[in-house]
Chain A
Amino acid sequence: MTTVRAAAGDAPAGEGSGPRQSVTRCLELKGVHKSFGGVRVLQDVDFHLDRGEVVGLLGDNGAGKSTLIKIITGYHQPDRGELLFDGQAVHGLTVQKARDLGVETVYQERALADQQPLWRNIFIGRDISNRLGLLDVGQMRRITERLMTEEMGFTSAVLTPDTTVTGLSGGERQGLAIVRALHFEAEIIILDEPTMGLSLKETEKLLRFVEGIRRKGKSAIFIDHNIFHVYSVADRIVVLDRGRIAGDFPTTRYSLDQLMDIMREVATSGSFETDRPKFADVDQAAVSDASDTGASA
């Protein structure tokens, strides 16, 4: 195992999910492997997310963050390993299935259709329609209008539900992608680099919004290059390095400085040694199998 478990007690054993965990555990990945054309992108990844929890996912470019979340959203299927939603193993997960299970994602690439009006973008794949598939366009326009003023804070009078995405700024596009994920009462919201291209003020707003997810008892996975952003809102930080989980750190037990040292260590060596004096104050139990790091397949 390459995993450094912080909360050793509730770490999944790997074999058979204990029913005791399924109560609060809304998502679990077990031994997930994924390769693209012979390149191993993810190796033996275990990951879990509890209800009402915000997990920060950190890692360098190419660490496998995007692949990991695309497995959770059903976009990629794992070569090996298991996905459990609310303790139930789900096989052949598709994007549609994942959305039906309450997974909504704010993708790094935004996933918008530029030439289409805002209301069509909000309702991609989730149209309000009757049994014959006929759309209730009026309803969708009204909801979009409300989301624009109440949620996105679009103040410009030239923006209407019929404006195309081409007319939006970077921040506005991001707001649209986030509000879309929010609108459908998602149980699990995945945010892939949501602060990219945002102004300071917009970033603050976003971080407040992530805290709101927890307050509502929903869960989130928050991916960002910026450890300050992640640390300020996450309950737990999972570090991914070259396709493996390099560590799992509750923010209540690690200071930001400690985490930054760990990140630096991971970045240079792919692991980190707990017996180094620098980390002597780190909770030993929490990182008990750190010495295994990099040893096993």
Chain B
Amino acid sequence: MSAASVASPKERAGRSALTEFTTRYASQIGITVAFLLLWGTFIVLAPETFTSDLIYKSFAQTTPYFAITAMFLTMVIVAGDIDLSFPSIMALGMVGFVWAWDATGSVALGVISALLVGGCAGLFNGLVVTIVGLPSLVVTIGTQFLFRGLTLVLVAGKSFALVETRGEPARELLNAKPFGIPMEFWWLLGLSILAWVLLNRHRLGANTYIIGDNTQTARLMGIPIRRTRIMLFVLVGVAAALAGMMNSLQIVNFYPNMGSGYLLPTLAAVFVGGTSVFGGRGSVYGTFIGAFMIGGIAAGITAVGLTDFWTNLIYGAIILISISIHAILQRRFQR
């Protein structure tokens, strides 16, 4: 088809670069502003706490326990799926760790074993969702019980002391504090970059966006839908196992109910970050910021002098305000 009159590149460039940027990244800018406002509020109201580096070191250690999973959960949600079973995978992975470590005495093998168990649990989710053809919401509600139940049965409800793992290099890799910053944070940083690359600069992510946007289109254009969705569940499984392991090794104890408190903060981080529950749209950067907002609220509330009773109320308010901002920006900037 021939071109009639064509806008020259110059004309296009005439559109201010700033407008271009704000349009494309409206959602990310929105969440950044919300984050800065929240942070600013905490600094003003509790300057002693929020100007010392102690609280940031604490966030850097505790936030990754759910943020690492949130990064890959973002991809699953962009594909139009959801995974609610990851808190149970955090514990199930640790069963793999304890087994391998007990059998071989090697922490490194324990780590590998935990990651494998996590991957297999994710694979199981993916296979049931794609082959039986059930909605992932329903399947992962089921596997959430299944994996937790399996964990409880396998360890007979016991908890395990992990004190002897101290000093092992494999453990240091997960829990040490190089340059005074916890390894948990370095892992989160590295894995966030990985998730960003996978979602935005890799074929897996390209297919993920199309599947979540319009499955029929994906089917007509020959995208490997099943393989892509399974892969995303596997990634979440591995990430959850890693997070569960970091958490357990940090507190040198593994109890079979570990991870169960992380379900809602993780989901909240993803949605506060601007990822659409309907699929097709999402931001790894948004989830990263969202995770630190969610991770910081509890400490912030106590630091500004409110009682713990306020926590849920403020959580709820911040989540609702954030997702409303995203919805408004979305309508405003979608051309």
The reply on A134 being an interface residue by CB < 8 A is yes
A257 within 8 A of B: no
Interface residues of A in 143-164 (CB under 8 A from B): 149-158, 160, 162-164
Contact between B201 and A116 (Cβ–Cβ < 8 Å)?
no
With A111-B221, A160-B20, A163-B335 given, is the CB distance from A120 to B206 under 8 Å? yes
Determine if B288 is an interface residue (Cβ-Cβ < 8 Å).
no
Interface positions, chain B 230-273, Cβ under 8 Å from A, are: none
Q: Return the chain B residue nearest A163 by Cβ.
A: B335
Q: Contact at B222–A157, with CB atoms within 8 Å? A: no
CB of B197, distance to nearest CB on chain A (Å): 7
Chain A residues numbered 88-140 whose CB sits less than 8 Å from any CB in chain B? 94-96, 98-99, 105, 107, 109, 111-116, 120, 123-125, 127, 129, 133-135, 137
Interface residues in B25-56 by Cβ distance below 8 A to A read: none
The residues of B that contact A179 with a CB separation of less than 8 Å are: 1
B15 at the A interface (CB under 8 A):
yes
Among B5-13, B140-148, B294-302, the stretch in contact with A:
B5-13
What is the bound-complex CA distance between A123 and B210, given in angstroms? 11
Q: Nearest chain-B residue to A168 (Cβ)?
A: B335
Contacts of B204 in A (CB 8 A): 133
Q: Does B4 contact A153, Cβ atoms closer than 8 Å?
A: yes
Question: Chain A residues near B216 (CB, 8 Å)?
Answer: 109, 111
Instruction: Report the nearest A residue to B222, measured CB to CB.
Output: A95
- Asked if residues B221 and A125 are in contact (CB atoms below 8 Å), the reply is yes
Residue A276 at the B interface, CB < 8 A? Answer: no
Distance of A78 Cα from B3 Cα, bound (Å):
40
Name the residue among B221, B224, B281 with the largest chain A CB count within 10 angstroms: B221
B209 CB–A CB distance under 8 Å: yes
Q: Is the CB of A134 within 8 A of B221?
A: no
Q: Looking across the interface, which residue of chain B has its beta carbon closest to that of A126?
A: B221
Asked whether A164 and B1 contact (CB < 8 A) given A99-B222, A135-B203, A157-B15, the answer is no
The answer to the question of B119 belonging to the interface, with a C-beta cut-off of 8 Å to chain A, is: no
Q: Which of A150, A157, A206 is B7 in contact with, Cβ under 8 Å?
A: A157
Check B166 for interface membership: any CB of A closer than 8 A: no
Q: Please name the residue on chain A nearest to B202 by beta carbon.
A: A133
Knowing A113-B280, A153-B6, A155-B5, say if A164 contacts B335 (CB, 8 Å).
yes
Q: Which of A111, A153, A166 has a CB less than 8 Å from the CB of B1? A: A153
Closest to A153 in B: B3
Are B2 and A205 within 8 A (Cβ)? yes
A178 at the interface (CB under 8 A from B): yes
A62 is an interface residue with CB less than 8 A from chain B: no
Asked if A124 meets B202 with Cβ closer than 8 Å, knowing A113-B280, A153-B3, the reply is: no
Q: Which residues of B contact A209 (CB under 8 A)?
A: 1
**Interfacial chain A residues near B221, Cβ < 8 Å:** 95, 99, 111, 124-125
CA distance A99 to B6 in the complex (A): 31
CB distance from A117 to the nearest CB of B (A): 9
Determine whether A175 belongs to the interface, using a CB cutoff of 8 Å to chain B: yes
* Known pairs A153-B2, A155-B6, A209-B1; A105 contacts B213 (CB<8 A): no
Q: What are the residues of chain B within 8 A of A120 when measuring CB–CB?
A: 206, 209-210
Is A170 in the interface zone, CB < 8 Å from B?
no
Given contacts A116-B213, A153-B3, A157-B7, contact A109 B12 (CB under 8 A): no
Q: Any chain B CB within 8 A of the CB of A294? A: no
Residue of A nearest to B333 (CB): A164
Q: Across the interface, do A205 and B1 meet the contact criterion of CB distance under 8 Å? A: yes
B334 within 8 A of partner (CB): yes
Asked if B220 is at the interface of the complex by the 8 Å CB criterion, the answer is: yes
Task: Determine if A157 and B281 form an interchain contact, defined as CB atoms under 8 angstroms apart.
Answer: no
A75 touching B220 by the CB < 8 A rule? yes
* Contact in complex: A96, B2 (CB < 8 Å): no
Question: Which of A94, A113, A135, A154: most chain B Cβ within 10 A?
Answer: A113
Establish whether residues A129 and B7, one from each chain, have CB atoms under 8 Å apart when the complex forms. no
Q: Contact partner of B11 among A107, A127, A157, CB < 8 A? A: A157
Q: Enumerate chain A residues within 8 angstroms of B334, measured Cβ to Cβ.
A: 164, 166-167
Q: Which residues of A contact B12 (CB under 8 A)?
A: 157, 160
Given contacts A95-B221, A137-B201, is CB(A127)–CB(B206) below 8 Å? Answer: yes
Q: B1 and A175: CB pair below 8 A?
A: yes
Contacts of B202 in A (CB 8 A): 129, 133-135
- Measured between C-beta atoms, what is the minimum distance from B275 to chain A in Å? 12
The answer to whether B176 has its CB under 8 Å from any CB of chain A is no
Give the residues from 197 to 219 in chain B that come closer than 8 angstroms, CB to CB, to chain A: 197, 200-204, 206-207, 209-210, 213-214, 216-219
**Are A158's CB and B335's CB within 8 A?**
yes
**What is the distance, in angstroms, from A243's C-beta to the closest C-beta of chain B?**
22
Measured in the bound complex, the distance between the Cα atoms of B334 and A254 in whole Å is: 50
A74 close to chain B: CB less than 8 A:
yes
Is B277 on the interface with A (CB-CB < 8 A)?
no
B214, A125: Cβ atoms under 8 Å? no
**Shortest Cβ distance from A100 into B: residue:** B222
A109 to B4, CA, bound (A): 26
Contacts A96-B222, A115-B281, A209-B1; A155 near B7 (Cβ below 8 A): yes
Q: A134-B197, A153-B3, A166-B335 are in contact. List 13 more A-B contacts (CB 8 A).
A: A75-B219, A95-B221, A95-B222, A115-B213, A115-B281, A135-B201, A137-B200, A149-B3, A153-B1, A154-B6, A157-B14, A162-B20, A178-B1
17 A-B Cβ contacts within 8 A?
A74-B222, A95-B220, A96-B222, A116-B210, A124-B206, A124-B217, A125-B207, A127-B206, A134-B202, A154-B6, A154-B7, A155-B4, A155-B5, A157-B7, A160-B20, A166-B334, A205-B1
